Structure 1
């Protein structure tokens, strides 16, 4: 099942900068593990925002929720999830 997930990050204003950098480091490592196994297929930055649009390919809603909730930035993000279906005009 494919999903488009728009994630907008809301950094806390009162967090220690070193702690924030550590969260960002763990976020990248966590996300890249799912990129390597094919579950996290694409990511694009939204220009001018601390936000992205990502494509996930997972077995179920529950699996997607588990992956998303595991992101270290999860407590600081707003997310919109959209289920996707193959378009009949698609070539692949």
Structure 2
């Protein structure tokens, strides 16, 4: 499959992932649609400092930061073992 298809699917499904998290913590769902602000709120949910948010704008590092933030969300839901965290990274929408 073309890599562009994966990128398009990520842009479609990622807001769904954030929407479920925002609903769980009581943040208005429309805030998912605001670029950059949704990442800022996600950073506040996991309780990390501002530099985590700023590292999302550094090329190549941003991919790893998103993975780390997905693992931190899994920890917020009391999922500490490697299997749960791997599922959170590989399937963030359904996990």
Q: Report the structure number with the largest CA radius of gyration.
A: 1
TM-score by length of 2: 0.34
Q: Write 1 or 2 for the structure with the bigger share of strand.
A: 1
TM-score normalised to structure 1 length: 0.34
